[in-house]
Amino acid sequence: MSALPVASGQGRALVIRNLVKEYRPGQPVLRDISLTVSEPGIVAIIGPSGTGKSTLIRCINRLVDPTSGSIMLGGTDLAKLQGEALRQARRRLGMVFQEYNLVERLTVIENVLCGRLGYVPVWRAWTRRFPEADIARAFALLESVGLGDFATRRADQLSGGQRQRVGIARAVMQDPDLVLADEPTSSLDPKTSVEIMELLAQVGRERDIPVLVNIHNVALAKRYALRIVGMSKGVVVYDGPPAGLQDSHLAEIYGGEGWME
């Protein structure tokens, strides 16, 4: 795989303080989460189903509204933004989804260019007429994720792994300060999952930005993350290097021990 083009300087710190999310009043899903993520590379969030991992990612990109607390990114509190300010801030958050979220009827290159939608005037977005420089960069990015020959294919003709590569290229196309990946490998086979994690690690390294990844596969998390955040029942119960994650931590995160045998 060739190098991703245009490495862009400093990643900026994400500083979450006392984050609480209640979908129903009095029933917090996230209970007072505080977390600082500033290092480039993958930070994996692990934890059992229903513990609030997706909710945390969705609070950061504001697909859901936090109940209280702050989410600072480069000096801006994402938790407080609305309207145009929120739209502008979202440009800095590259999203990678479990089900890829591509526009199926568009070509691969058009999907990558969708990463620029937050940057172009509305008329250009409507007519999908992007600046030449963006188009050249989209082609270069596609090449770098191994899909140089697929630019004019429709997205609905791709395999899951290929779709996720397009999703990652689209996220990088945004020039993000932070990539948020919500279970990016859950729909993929084991080999493809490894390739996608490698690609996400490469994005973090080469662009010097944090890549926050929700993931169920603990082995993959340990292999690719520089740091693991273990959540249980809406709180962080482990935050440290993969090498420090012991069976006792896994028992605390997932509950019980019989499943580990």
Sheet containing 27-37, strands listed edge to edge, beginning at the edge strand earlier in sequence: 27-37, 14-24, 68-73, 76-77
Contact 237, 253 (CB under 8 A): yes
Q: Which of 208, 228, 226, 96 is nearest to 163 (CA)?
A: 96
- As a dihedral over the C-alpha atoms of residue 3, residue 157, residue 95, residue 206, rounded to 10 degrees, the angle is 0
Q: What backbone phi and psi angles, to 5 degrees, belong to 105? A: -85, -5
Segment contacting ligand ATP (CB under 6 A): 6-14, 44-52, 109-117, 155-163? 44-52
Binding mask 110-129 for ligand ATP (x = CB under 6 A): --------------------
Nearest distance, CB of residue 141 and ligand ATP, angstroms: 28
Helices (H), ranges, 21-159: 53-60, 83-90, 108-113, 122-127, 132-144
Q: Kindly tell me which residue out of 11, 28, 51, 113 binds ligand ATP, with binding defined by CB under 6 A.
A: 51
Q: Kindly tell me which residue out of 3, 7, 18, 50 binds ligand ATP, with binding defined by CB under 6 A.
A: 50
Q: Which of 119, 51, 66 is nearest to 90 (CA)?
A: 119
With binding defined as CB under 6 A, does residue 54 bind ligand ATP?
Answer: yes
Segment contacting ligand ATP (CB under 6 A): 6-14, 45-53, 113-121, 151-159? 45-53
With binding defined as CB under 6 A, does residue 23 bind ligand ATP?
Answer: yes
With binding defined as CB under 6 A, does residue 53 bind ligand ATP?
Answer: yes
Sorted by sequence, the CB contacts under 8 Å of residue 26 that are 6+ apart come out as none
With binding defined as CB under 6 A, does residue 255 bind ligand ATP?
Answer: no
Q: Kindly tell me which residue out of 11, 28, 41, 47 binds ligand ATP, with binding defined by CB under 6 A.
A: 47
Q: Which one, 12 or 21, has the nearer CB to ligand ATP? A: 21
Nearest distance, CB of residue 205 and ligand ATP, angstroms: 26
Q: Which of 18, 17, 73, 45 is nearest to 245 (CA)?
A: 45
Q: Tell me which residues touch ligand ATP (CB under 6 A).
A: 23, 29, 47, 49-55
